[in-house]
Chain A
């Protein structure tokens, strides 16, 4: 299988993160500026060293159809390659692959991949098509409602053990407790019983199954391995494999809503890397809801279909365990800064690979799998499934 990342010609050389805050009152540009400043400081680069930019269109700026232009201008970037990706929470892992392709094609050499969003301060998005005509007028509670439908169907076909989801909720909360960038209100311990007794939002989905929206942002810098060597940087990670699938099974008008694009993209990403799930040292899945993580475990191949509950219950998913999962709290316990949340798991994976995760450090990890999920379609599963595998350089 063709894998343009196989030769390890591409490096991620640093990360910058802004603390997640609810109703920060900040502008998207201010958050983007802080994330940019932090990643430049981490790598020792200046804005003049950046010649490419990739980003995601956040709901706080969605009315601006010149978003890339405005953002690059604000940050003081002169770029020969510019990209806004709008496949939701899959945009930022997607941008790693898109930036790598642009660098390998010679369009640019050093890319700032930046995500910033302040949805709890400002929202100007307006989604038409099926959403305004066939979703909102029904009264379904948005994404929690869609995942309530997925969970009940899963329970009809397989065995769902809520204590397994509770274990995952507790493990991620433990990560947020030691993550200074997490929303402060979420930095309180929880138990499996807290999860089981949490208020229902849209049955059988509970409040503690769900993300907490907030404002925040983050950035990474992607360049050629050749350039990274010249810079003499010691903390580098190679993206070694990527697979993405949008509108899985779109021709089927009665699709199985428990089935997702990860059943294709997961095995593809592993095959491209020449790996099996045993070679993955840490799993940093996109986590809008806990059940989404369980579906990914099954469909990427960490366990068989329907075995997700037993897998979670029998696996140590803590930082010192056999498969650490979302060690920084994930979006569910650190907060979801809108679509900028789609790069939080990459930031956490880099922090771990570079040995900088302090109280939650995974012992000497060399590989990480990060994923992205984009959009809730009309009574189907999610729209985009993306899988990125990173390896310490």
Chain B
């Protein structure tokens, strides 16, 4: 993949809600919000539980393992991804019962299938910020 001049890849601006999640990512820990009353996780991080409306959520470190629910190969790149195309975006159903979307690494685009087991991996956006991606769980 030839790299052209490109705009910087967009980095998240953490809020007081999401700061613990991003702190975890930067320490290579994958944290999800857990509602102990409903016994359910949720993603993306919110100010309350979508299951019960209560705010007493706890952050739990989870496996980051799941399966591909759907995928799309990006042919016309998004801003900050110029020259990276074609790249694969996957929607992943995690073992913990939430769905997460990100880039798929270390896997030829043509071999991507719904149902393929994947695991979380790390993806440096810039010197200061780590993001998360997925790779095949072989």
- State the A residues within 8 Å of B (CB): 128-130, 132-142, 144-145, 148-153, 156, 199-205, 250-251, 253-255, 257, 378-379
Q: A133 to B114, Cβ gap below 8 A? A: no
Distance, CA A379 to CA B92, complexed state (A): 9
In the bound complex, residues from chain A placing their C-beta under 8 Å from that of B71 are 149, 152
For A250, list chain B residues within 8 Å (CB): 50
Q: Interface of B with A (CB < 8 Å)? A: 9-15, 18, 40-44, 50-51, 69-81, 84, 87, 89, 91, 93, 97-103, 114, 125, 131
Q: Provide a sorted-by-A list of 7 A–B residue pairs whose CB atoms are within 8 angstroms.
A: A133-B44, A140-B89, A148-B73, A152-B72, A200-B75, A203-B73, A253-B99
Q: Do residues A139 and B100 form an inter-chain contact, with CB atoms below 8 A? A: no
B78 partner residues in chain A, CB cutoff 8 A: 136, 139-142, 145
User: Out of B13, B76, B80, B93, which one reaches A202, CB within 8 Å?
Assistant: B76
Partner of A140, one of B11, B74, B84, B125: B74
CA distance A159 to B73 in the complex (A): 20
Asked if residues A379 and B75 are in contact (CB atoms below 8 Å), the reply is no
A-B contact count (CB 8 A): 123
Query: Known contacts A152-B114, A253-B43: does B10 contact A137 (CB below 8 Å)?
Result: yes
Partner of A205, one of B10, B11, B72: B72
7 shortest interchain CB distances as A-B pairs: A148-B72, A133-B12, A153-B70, A203-B73, A139-B81, A200-B75, A136-B10
B75 and A139 contact, CB distance less than 8 A: no
With beta carbons under 8 angstroms apart, the residue of B15, B77, B87, B100 that contacts A379 is B100
The answer on a CB contact under 8 Å between A251 and B101 is no
| Complex Cα spacing A257 to B99, Å | 11
Q: How far is the CB of B20 from chain A (nearest CB, A)?
A: 13
Question: What is the bound-complex CA distance between A137 and B8, given in angstroms?
Answer: 10
Say yes or no: B70 contacts A251, CB within 8 Å. no
State whether A378 touches B14 (Cβ < 8 A).
Answer: no
Residue of B9, B51, B91 near A137 (CB, 8 A) is B9
Contact B97 A130 (CB under 8 A): no
Contacts of B69 in A (CB 8 A): 153, 254, 257
- A203 and chain B: residue at smallest CB distance: B73
Residue with the greatest number of chain B CB neighbours at <10 A, chosen from A133, A150, A156, A251? A133
Contact for B74 among A153, A202, A251, A255, CB less than 8 A: A202
State in angstroms the CA–CA spacing of A250 and B73 once bound together: 27
How far is A142 from B89 in the complex, measured between Cα atoms in Å?
Answer: 11
**B109, closest chain A residue (CB):** A203
Give the distance in Å from the alpha carbon of A144 to the alpha carbon of B76 in the complex: 10
Q: Is the CB of A133 within 8 A of B103?
A: no
- CB of A185 to closest CB in B, whole Å: 18
Partner of A132, one of B10, B43, B77: B10
Q: Which residue of A lies closest to B89 (CB)?
A: A140
* Cβ–Cβ contact B81 & A254, under 8 A: no
* Partner of B91 from A130, A149, A204 at Cβ < 8 Å: A149
CB atoms of A150 and B44 under 8 A apart: no
Given A128-B15, A148-B73, 6 more pairs with CB closer than 8 A: A128-B13, A139-B77, A139-B103, A153-B91, A156-B114, A257-B69
- Does A379 lie within 8 Å of B89, measured CB to CB? no
